[in-house]
Amino acid sequence: MRMVGRVPYQRWKTARGYARSRENAVLFGGASMMASQVYSGFSLGIRRLCGGYAHNAMTSQLIKARNLVGQGRLPELFPAELAAMALLRMELGPKTKALGAVVARLRRSVVGNPGLAKRLAVAERTLKEAEAKRFCHAWLDTASGRLQVVGLALAAERMPLKAKERLEFRVHAEVVAVAGVELEAKAGAGSLRKYVRGHTDGKHVRQVTGWLRYSEEEFGDGYSARLRVSGEPCSVPRLVVVAVEWRAVRGGRFRKLEGASIVRLGGVLRVDQAEAIPVPVVKKLPVRLKGEALARRRLLIRTLLEKFGMARKGKKRKIRKRKVLPLPKYVELIE
């Protein structure tokens, strides 16, 4: 028996027998560059929900979708629309197939090792959560900028909850600008062609709802929200990514339902559509102070007016006695 020696790099670059291998390497590099561009646009919150090896999963989907470009085995361009078509039906998050394999392995091992019973129960509960999430879908209405999340009722019915637990969820929505990846000009002799990423001038937009208590009366038909899009012009398409996160609450404690989390591509905004969606204007209401904070503020303003001789003349109003900090401390801070 002998060890087979490795192929020298110079031979791999020039030999005819490795022409297909070189094409596969260049193709994988372009798809990986596009997937990395999409994945790097996600916030840390969505990356945590994507699960492991999400970047590799997107790369394999883009390689499978290269035939849609119609330029042979090695396309000259990986457009952003190709990434949208490839990832539109893709579901990022805990995989049901992988979790099923873990449960099957633990069931075989628990016979001789009863200590694995607790791990088996957790794995089975996570598998049920992952099976429930497949009913959630999300899409974007580009005409009105309305984001729709449906299937919450079907997913909530199949959640493995413990006694006296209630469901809560929150929705992440992000707009990621994605530029195309183009194959560079013909390289010189003895060198490989590679893909080069285009320029991205769009800003990432992120919005997250607070934790909403699920009830069939309120969210039985789904969840709807207005998407906020930056009003600045963008020369590249934008991908709208939607994630739904669940947790079970009991009293003052909660536990995350990691298996039920789902990340999907909700839609694509072309250059003209992104500028057409109106940006909702949110008016910030003034903060109203109550109780002790209001008494402190009134006392501070009155003291400063008297200090600089700007107090209004007239009958002084009585201030209710409250437990406030000493007055000199406020005056020293202002001075």
80 or 292, higher pLDDT: 80
pLDDT of residue 179: 86
Confidence of residue 187 (pLDDT cuts 50, 70, 90): low
Residue 138 has pLDDT above 60, yes or no: yes
Within a 10 A sphere around the Cβ of 206, how many other Cβ atoms?
16
Start-to-end C-alpha separation, the chain = 87
pLDDT tens digits, 210-242: 899 998 888 888 888 888 776 677 778 888 888
pLDDT of residue 168: 92
Range with the poorest average pLDDT among 188-197, 199-208, 284-293, 310-319: 310-319
Q: How far apart are CA 176 and CA 209, in angstroms?
A: 18
Q: What residues contact residue 291 under an 8 Å CB cut-off, 6+ apart?
A: 322
User: What is the gyration radius of the CA atoms in the chain, in angstroms?
Assistant: 29
pLDDT of residue 125: 84
Q: Is 186 exposed, middle or buried (0-12, 13-18, 19+ CB in 10 A)?
A: exposed
Q: Which residue has the tokens 């390689």?
A: 63
Q: How far apart are CA 310 and CA 292, in angstroms?
A: 25
Residue 330 has pLDDT above 50, yes or no: no
pLDDT of residue 123: 85
Within a 10 A sphere around the Cβ of 218, how many other Cβ atoms?
11
Q: Which residues pair with 249 in a beta bridge?
A: 166, 254
% of the chain at pLDDT higher than 90: 2
- The amino acid present at 36, given as its one-letter code, is S
Fill in the DSSP letter of residue 133: G
Residue 121 has pLDDT above 80, yes or no: yes
pLDDT of residue 280: 56
Within a 10 A sphere around the Cβ of 160, how many other Cβ atoms?
18
Q: How far apart are CA 131 and CA 259, in angstroms?
A: 8
pLDDT of residue 286: 60
Q: How far apart are CA 264 and CA 241, in angstroms?
A: 6
pLDDT tens digits, 160-177: 888 889 999 999 988 888
Residue 298 has pLDDT above 50, yes or no: yes
pLDDT tens digits, 191-206: 677 888 887 776 778 8
Fill in the DSSP letter of residue 164: T
Q: How far apart are CA 237 and CA 269, in angstroms?
A: 6
- Contacts of the segment 215-222: beta carbons below 8 A, 24+ positions apart: 216/153, 216/156, 219/152, 219/153, 220/152, 220/153, 221/150, 221/153, 222/148, 222/149, 222/150, 222/151, 222/152
What is the pLDDT averaged over residues 291-312? 72
pLDDT tens digits, 28-46: 888 888 888 888 888 888 8
52 or 121, higher pLDDT: 121
Confidence of residue 308 (pLDDT cuts 50, 70, 90): low
Which of 304, 34, 41, 74 lies closest to 179, judged by CA? 34
What is the pLDDT averaged over residues 115-125? 86
Q: Is 87 helix (H, G, I), strand (E, B) or coil?
A: helix
In angstroms, the Cα distances linking 303 to 23, 153, 296, 297, 311 are: 78, 57, 11, 10, 9
Residue 329 has pLDDT above 50, yes or no: no
Confidence of residue 249 (pLDDT cuts 50, 70, 90): very high
Mean of pLDDT over the chain: 79
